[in-house]
Amino acid sequence: MILQDTIYAVSTAPGKSAISVVRVSGKKAYESVKKISKSMPKKPNHSKLNKIIEKNGDTIDQTITTFYKSPKSYTGEDMVEISFHGGSAVLSKFIGMFEKNKDVRQAKPGEFTRRAFENNKLDLTQVEAVADLVNAETENQRKEAFNQLEGSSSLGLKKIHEKTKNLLAEAEAIIDFSDEDLPKNVYNQILEQIENIITEIDSAVSKNIRSRKIHNGYIVGIIGKTNTGKSSFINKISNQDVSIVTSQPGTTRDVLESYIDIQGLPVRFYDTAGIRRSKSTIENIGISKSKKLAENSDLNLIFIEKKSDLLRFKSYKNKIFVQSKHDIRRTLNKNKDIISISSKTGFGIKNLLKIISKKLIKMSFKEFGHISRERHMRFLSDSKKHLLRAKENKNYDKFCEDIRLALNEISKIYGKTDVEDILEIIFNDFCIGK
Ligand SMILES: Nc1nc2c(ncn2[C@@H]2O[C@H](COP(=O)(O)OP(=O)(O)OP(=O)(O)O)[C@@H](O)[C@H]2O)c(=O)[nH]1
Ligand SMILES: [Mg+2]
């Protein structure tokens, strides 16, 4: 990728808005905007009320223009940000004019952030955090991405990275000994360090399983006997007809999904076929799907008709018992372990959603800023493989080589090795102007 040329892009979303921001980055950023400006900010890192003008002297718009001098900018290069009045006519007029300037070109997706990376303003984990922040839809996703941007995720990984570097240094120091001369305690210490790093990798991986939930959403199964109001419930909380409802037991046959944000928590609810003995092949396929989902979900809402159903679903994990149709019940439920709701009147629904989110939060993340990406996981687990092999290796040359390979894998997380192909994948995910 050529990093010499000066790039520009509209960095705000299209459509009507109060302002639209155009970013320009590169050696000729200042000069190229100055050419079409009435009063550019003269001092670095200052903003100025400016007019963007055409060749014939007509004003396109009054703007706030900010100048960032390298290296104190997002990309690390000279940058100019022009805040226009939002509106497609203003922008298209400006772009039409700016396009003709041979000193600048349109940025590709993620190119500003890529430059920030190339100029060591961000490491790769922070680049990913920027992407996450832009894509964050819930409060928890935002928090996690921001913490990673601040480096708190990097910290956990950095410790592993640092320790592996030290390990390699020490292992290489003892390579000068011949096998017989090698002091046993030195070798044992190194083995201990390897063990220690492997433990840290394992703990990072287990945290990741939790943080992945924030990315992809928690899975909540709606399980239970037929005709207990499961489909009516998913329709009620989704505000639409996700699932068919009839008074006939065995209506739902398939697994149906609905994504709901409960106070910042991304949750995927799944309506399932009611569980009963059935002669229908199709229904039985549905029932086995229900059971499978219940096993793989984070939480199950078990819809019951009467108290004796509690026993029947006793073996299901992570569950909340729910009794619906509160509006037509003669005897009211007094059992605290059963949550009463009505999808007809809405009774108890808010309470149930609150209990669900509390339970999900409790059983998952309390800490933020843990490794959130499959990419990191892959490098960590590859690194662990090399470390395990090093532990078994009695040949010292190969022993060091394994540790070097382990370090190499971890370094890839930060993009410090030859990872051109990985870079392409990551930056292609960005929007233009970021
Ligand atoms: N009065 C009342 N009726 C309800 C309520 N929820 C569901 N029903 C009725 O109960 C019947 C079954 O509802 P569904 O939502 O289809 O039940 P289900 O558990 O999905 O049933 P299957 O798909 O057969 O397993 C329908 O006639 C609904 O109208 C409720 O809160 N109050
Ligand atoms: Mg149903």
CA distance 41 to 46: 6
User: Mutation test of ligand 1: which of 245, 291, 293 has the most ligand atoms closer than 8 Å to its C-beta?
Assistant: 245
Close Cβ partners of 301 (under 8 Å, ≥ 6 residues apart):
220, 221, 222, 223, 224, 233, 319, 320, 322, 352, 356
Joined tokens for residue 398: 């190969």
| Least distant ligand from the CA of 256 | 2
Q: Quick one: CATH architecture of 125-214+371-428? A: Up-down Bundle (1.20)
CA distance 136 to 20: 21
Question: What value does the mean pLDDT take over residues 187-210?
Answer: 85
**Cross-strand partners of 84:** 20
Q: Is the peptide bond before 44 cis (omega within 30 degrees of 0)?
A: no
Question: What value does the mean pLDDT take over residues 164-180?
Answer: 74
Model confidence at 418, in pLDDT bands (50, 70, 90)? very low
pLDDT, residue 47, reads 97
Question: Could you report the per-residue pLDDT of 328-382, keeping only the tens digit for each?
Answer: 998 888 888 999 999 999 999 999 999 999 888 776 544 433 445 667 888 898 9
pLDDT, residue 17, reads 86
CA of 343 to the centre of ligand 1 (A): 8
Nearest residue (by CA) to ligand 1, atom 21, is 227
Nearest residue (by CA) to ligand 1, atom 14, is 229
pLDDT, residue 150, reads 80
Q: Which residue has the higher pLDDT, 332 or 209?
A: 332
Q: Which residue has the higher pLDDT, 174 or 118?
A: 118
Model confidence at 154, in pLDDT bands (50, 70, 90)? low
| Least distant ligand from the CA of 227 | 1
CA of 316 to the centre of ligand 2 (A): 19
Contact 98, 88 (CB under 8 A): no
Model confidence at 209, in pLDDT bands (50, 70, 90)? low
Q: Which helix (H) or strand (E) holds 300?
A: strand 299-304
Model confidence at 151, in pLDDT bands (50, 70, 90)? confident
Among the listed residues 158, 173, 175, 166, the one whose alpha carbon sits nearest the alpha carbon of residue 193: 166
Residues of the chain with CATH 3.40.50.300: 216-363
CB-based pocket (< 6 A), ligand 1: 226-232, 245-247, 249-252, 274, 303, 324-325, 327-328, 342-344
Residues of the chain with CATH 1.20.120.430: 125-214+371-428
Residues of the chain with CATH 3.30.1360.120: 6-120
pLDDT, residue 370, reads 41
Joined tokens for residue 164: 């592996």
Contact 155, 171 (CB under 8 A): no
**Does residue 416 register a pLDDT over 70?**
no
Instruction: Fold for 216-363, please state it.
Output: Rossmann fold (3.40.50)
Model confidence at 25, in pLDDT bands (50, 70, 90)? very high
CATH number belonging to the domain at 6-120, selected among 3.60.15.10, 3.10.129.10, 3.40.50.300, 3.30.1360.120: 3.30.1360.120
Cα dist from 411 to 35, 379, 383, whole Å: 43, 9, 10
Joined tokens for residue 78: 């000279």
Name the one residue in this structure whose structure tokens are 């729910």.
322
Nearest residue (by CA) to ligand 1, atom 1, is 325
Question: What value does the mean pLDDT take over residues 291-313?
Answer: 93
CA distance 150 to 109: 23
DSSP per-residue letters across 357-371: HHHHHHHS-SS----
pLDDT, residue 141, reads 75
**Cross-strand partners of 256:** 271
Q: What percent of the chain lies above the pLDDT cut of 70?
A: 87
| Least distant ligand from the CA of 274 | 1
**Does residue 235 register a pLDDT over 90?**
yes
pLDDT, residue 312, reads 92
Nearest residue (by CA) to ligand 1, atom 27, is 247
pLDDT, residue 428, reads 62
Q: Which residue has the higher pLDDT, 312 or 145?
A: 312
